[in-house]
Amino acid sequence: MLIQVLALMPYLFFIFYLFDLWFDVSRTRVLESNLNDAKMVSLYLHENIQHGLSLAKTLAYSPDLLDIYREKPESVRKSMRYIVDNNQSINSIYLVDTEGKILLFESKKLIPKAVGSSVVDMDYFQKIMATGKSYVSDPLISKITGNNIITMGEPVLENGNIKAIVVSSINIDSLKSQLEKYMSDTGNKYIYILDRSGSLVFSPFNNIDNDLKTSFKNESFLKEVSKGREVLLNNRKIPIMKETVIGSVVQVNDIHWTVISVQPTADIFAPIFKLQSVTWLVILSSLAFSILIISYYIKRIKYII
């Protein structure tokens, strides 16, 4: 029996080596796949937000914009309407004076009371007025439409002084729907997008409860990714998901958002675990059968003697 077991040892070591190699190859493949998915989502978000900001800049940089507004406000309004109608990602675009009052407003849906409303208490207005520079906000609830949006603002400058602000916005629900179509071929259902504060903005293919929005804020990988590094998550737990995961974390350039792309470890290794169980069953069954055969012949020998 001992000889039988010893004879099996090289075979068992070889089997263990193959399984270990399979685990490593699967882990590497999944890490690379999720890194590519995270980068793809990051690039998609960056392009959409930068496009919204570039539209605000185009209008803000228009020569004599405020003079034209004073003389022919309808001309400026038509330009804003054209931007909204011809850019799917843009939810609204509006012109705000230095007191925070909306002078012109165009959006996907008609909002009759938008003009004259004040945004003086909004973060993006205060940031732009304080810095004189363009600004992309974290998600916020629009005072005008009630939608969950991202705003991109650009100051209108005259002789270096702020005279007005052009603001464009993207509806986050629309952005989520577009991203789901964009990512539909990947099959990855576990993607999480965080804003610069670490709060969960949204997750394609998933609806997240409001009480889970801040789940990621204390995660150590946020510090690493904030330095521009790509972080690999190797068989560890993350908020939202109960099981351990394998995946990647990257930063969205310029706006300092974070994209997390992962897959449950159990899903990745399920075929290997299944084959491993079958292999152990075959090996143990073979050993048991060998023991029975050996025992049988030993008894026969004793009986003959």
Query: What are the DSSP E strand ranges found in the chain?
Result: 92-97, 102-107, 135-136, 140-141, 148-158, 161-171, 191-194, 200-202, 231-236, 245-252, 257-264
Q: Find tokens 């310029």 and name the residue.
A: 254
Tell me, what's the pLDDT at 242? 81
Taking the C-alpha atoms of residue 4 and residue 296, their distance in angstroms, rounded to an integer, is 15
Does the pLDDT of residue 304 top 60, yes or no? Answer: no
The pTM score is 0.79
- Mean pLDDT, to the nearest integer, of 261-283? 66
Q: Find tokens 């990051």 and name the residue.
A: 42
Tell me, what's the pLDDT at 291? 61
Residue 247 bridge partners (DSSP): 233, 262
Taking the C-alpha atoms of residue 262 and residue 235, their distance in angstroms, rounded to an integer, is 10
* Confidence category of residue 279, pLDDT binned at 50, 70, 90: low
Tell me, what's the pLDDT at 57? 96
Tell me, what's the pLDDT at 184? 79
* Confidence category of residue 283, pLDDT binned at 50, 70, 90: low
Tell me, what's the pLDDT at 94? 96
Q: What are phi and psi of 135, to 5 degrees?
A: -150, 135
Task: Determine the residue type at 66.
Answer: L
Tell me, what's the pLDDT at 290? 62
- Mean pLDDT, to the nearest integer, of 245-254? 92
Does the pLDDT of residue 141 top 60, yes or no? Answer: yes
Q: pLDDT averaged over the chain?
A: 84
Taking the C-alpha atoms of residue 217 and residue 157, their distance in angstroms, rounded to an integer, is 37
Does the pLDDT of residue 112 top 70, yes or no? Answer: yes
* Confidence category of residue 151, pLDDT binned at 50, 70, 90: very high
CATH class of 53-173: alpha beta
Domain ranges, ordered by start, for the chain = 53-173
The C-alpha R_g of the chain, in whole angstroms, comes to 30
Q: Find tokens 């270096």 and name the residue.
A: 160
* Confidence category of residue 100, pLDDT binned at 50, 70, 90: very high
Does the pLDDT of residue 185 top 90, yes or no? Answer: no
- Mean pLDDT, to the nearest integer, of 103-127? 93
